[in-house]
Amino acid sequence: MRILFATSEATPFAKTGGLADVSASLPRVLGEQGHDICVFMPLYKSVFNSGLPLRNMGFDLSIPIRNKTVFGTVWEGRIPGSPNVPFYFVQQDDYFDRDGIYSQHGTDYEDNCERFVFFCRSVMESIERLWLDIDILHSNDWQTGLLPAYLRLMYGSRPRFQRVASVHTIHNLAYQGVFWHWDMKLTGIGWEHFRYDELEFYGKLNFLKAGLTFCDAITTVSPRYAVEIQTEGFGCGMNDVLAYRCDRLFGILNGISKEWNPSTDNNLAVTYSSEDVFEKKPVCKQALQAEMNLPQRRDLPLIGIVGRLAFQKGIDLVCDVIPTWVENHNVQFVILGTGDTALETRLSELAAKYPKNVAVRSEFCDPIAHRIEAGADLFLMPSRYEPCGLNQMYSQIYGTLPIVHDTGGLADTVTDEETGFSFNNDNIDELNKTIWRALDKFWHQPARFQEMIQQAMKLDWSWQRSAEQYASVYDKVKRK
């Protein structure tokens, strides 16, 4: 199969969430499984700064945007660990040579619509300019949602595109790329497609909807989320579109990348496997407590949290319950995350009030994330919704039992009282009860707690399995 994978972020260059991890891992594994795959992403400042050797592909792009022409070029590079997958970077410095990816200082760039119109048109033009023969055009999230629409409405009749099918993946339905209707003019797509069953959404232009209505198959990142997003509660206004296309909607769980392995992880004080986890994990716990200036006590339960500080992630619930567990049970919390400033402030206040129990790091730091996964006894993810979630899987592999809300990918990966703990309703009572169940095991049933750790560490969250499922979706839609 020949696949073009278009994305707005990929580790290690640009990352705001799970999409970046998927964009680095899935193409690599599909390549290893014998597929011919290339990746397109914007040439952000961070790509330049990474020092990655790049080769200019030797042609200029001239993209019509409203009544002007915007020029760009394409560079090729190979990312570390994926030597067989060409990464094509679209360069347009006015749009992409910036400090942020989509926003700066918490404010979205005003020209995000124009930036990603340009990127999508550049991908389509580059297919011709690079003579790429592809079977599948795989787009992701709103930023590349216009690709299936361009394929069907503007490029489909050209020889190079006639046999191309498209797959669109939803990594998070809450972000849809909604712009005012006059931005239709930027897309180059005619007003006749500004209709409720194509690009229009409550009077506005919606990039994600374009992807969902024009692609040949939709995937999302867990089977449970695929069902949930067809309902009003989780559908973010797109539930009817998704229910209408349910015969073409597939849930495929993300895998986790090779860097997340406690036996080879050089971010840790000591590495360990399921064989020596009970001797070595306490060393990681002590090192984490030291790093976070918390009392180095093995007997105190330590709960870790890593992630975006957002309402989605239930961080407000975490803030609500911390005082109870600190004041009554001397539990320690280590929290790493950035995001909502109100939540950051609440967390810093808790850290200031309970310096011996609560440590907060408001930064994006991958090595610390690894050390929390290894050093904590339990990992908390009370997300209100969670398309897939990666941290609960990292936790399991690191022998750190996750406490999760039973939703989306969390429901698909955590079996209550077997490989973690889960609760049904996202409210404080349920959360407290579940933390209590977990701590009860930690304090009073250590043998069972250890058995659960062993079970969690044996789970297989490799990308191989997920990549095979993507390949079978490609096969379903491929033009025969």
Closer residue to ligand ADP (CB): 289 or 392:
392
Of 306, 318, 359, 411, the one binding ligand ADP (CB under 6 A) is 306
Of 145, 211, 307, 314, the one binding ligand ADP (CB under 6 A) is 307
Of 364, 384, 428, 430, the one binding ligand ADP (CB under 6 A) is 364
Of 211, 251, 301, 389, the one binding ligand ADP (CB under 6 A) is 389
The single residue listed with the structure tokens 């690079």 is: 130
The tokens for 118 are 């340009």
Of 113, 390, 401, 439, the one binding ligand ADP (CB under 6 A) is 390
> Measured from the CB of residue 397, what is the shortest distance to ligand ADP in angstroms?
13
Using CB under 6 A, which of the segments 24-32, 47-55, 190-198, 364-372 binds ligand ADP?
A: 364-372
Closer residue to ligand ADP (CB): 86 or 262:
262
Report the distance separating Cα 387 and Cα 454, nearest Å.
26
Report the distance separating Cα 287 and Cα 372, nearest Å.
10
365 lines the binding site for ligand ADP (CB under 6 A): yes
Report the distance separating Cα 198 and Cα 145, nearest Å.
12
Q: Identify which of 460, 476, 474 has the alpha carbon closest to the alpha carbon of residue 34.
A: 474
> Measured from the CB of residue 319, what is the shortest distance to ligand ADP in angstroms?
16
* Residue 154 DSSP one-character state: I
Using CB under 6 A, which of the segments 265-273, 278-286, 389-397, 425-433 binds ligand ADP?
A: 389-397
Using CB under 6 A, which of the segments 34-42, 70-78, 332-340, 420-428 binds ligand ADP?
A: 332-340
> Measured from the CB of residue 451, what is the shortest distance to ligand ADP in angstroms?
26
Report the distance separating Cα 156 and Cα 88, nearest Å.
22
> Measured from the CB of residue 63, what is the shortest distance to ligand ADP in angstroms?
29
Closer residue to ligand ADP (CB): 23 or 213:
23
Using CB under 6 A, which of the segments 13-21, 175-183, 349-357, 433-441 binds ligand ADP?
A: 13-21
Q: How far is CA 125 from CA 42, 59, 118, in A?
A: 14, 11, 10
Of 145, 148, 262, 337, the one binding ligand ADP (CB under 6 A) is 337
Coil vs helix vs strand at 391: helix
Q: Identify which of 477, 471, 479 has the alpha carbon closest to the alpha carbon of residue 33.
A: 471
Query: In a 10 Å sphere around its CB, with 0-12 CB exposed, 13-18 middle and 19+ buried, how is residue 81 labelled?
Result: middle
Report the distance separating Cα 309 and Cα 302, nearest Å.
19
18 lines the binding site for ligand ADP (CB under 6 A): yes
Q: Residue 230: beta bridge partners?
A: none
Using CB under 6 A, which of the segments 71-79, 285-293, 303-311, 432-440 binds ligand ADP?
A: 303-311
> Measured from the CB of residue 194, what is the shortest distance to ligand ADP in angstroms?
30
> Measured from the CB of residue 22, what is the shortest distance to ligand ADP in angstroms?
9
Closer residue to ligand ADP (CB): 73 or 219:
219
> Measured from the CB of residue 169, what is the shortest distance to ligand ADP in angstroms?
13
> Measured from the CB of residue 171, what is the shortest distance to ligand ADP in angstroms?
7
Report the distance separating Cα 451 and Cα 446, nearest Å.
9
Q: How far is CA 305 from CA 122, 180, 361, 368, in A?
A: 39, 37, 10, 11
Q: How far is CA 431 from CA 296, 327, 466, in A?
A: 26, 17, 31
- Where do the H-state alpha helices sit in 332-377? 341-353, 366-375
Residues 128-157 contacting ligand ADP, CB under 6 A: none
Report the distance separating Cα 94 and Cα 107, nearest Å.
18
> Measured from the CB of residue 404, what is the shortest distance to ligand ADP in angstroms?
11
Report the distance separating Cα 298 and Cα 288, nearest Å.
11
Q: How far is CA 393 from CA 114, 390, 407, in A?
A: 36, 5, 14
> Measured from the CB of residue 112, what is the shortest distance to ligand ADP in angstroms?
18
C-alpha 82: how far from its chain's center?
Answer: 19
Question: Residues 391-410: x/- map of binding to ligand ADP (CB under 6 A)?
Answer: x-------------------
Of 26, 79, 173, 369, the one binding ligand ADP (CB under 6 A) is 369
Orientation angle between helical segments 428-444 and 315-329, nearest 10 degrees:
40
# residues near ligand ADP by CB under 6 A: 18
Of 261, 267, 286, 338, the one binding ligand ADP (CB under 6 A) is 338
Torsion from C-alpha of 272, 275, 278, 281, nearest 10 degrees: 10
> Measured from the CB of residue 381, what is the shortest distance to ligand ADP in angstroms?
8
Closer residue to ligand ADP (CB): 72 or 387:
387
Closer residue to ligand ADP (CB): 198 or 265:
265
CB atoms within 10 A of CB 237: 14
Report the distance separating Cα 480 and Cα 94, nearest Å.
41
State the residues that interact with ligand ADP by CB under 6 A. Answer: 17-18, 21, 172, 306-308, 336-338, 364-366, 369, 388-391
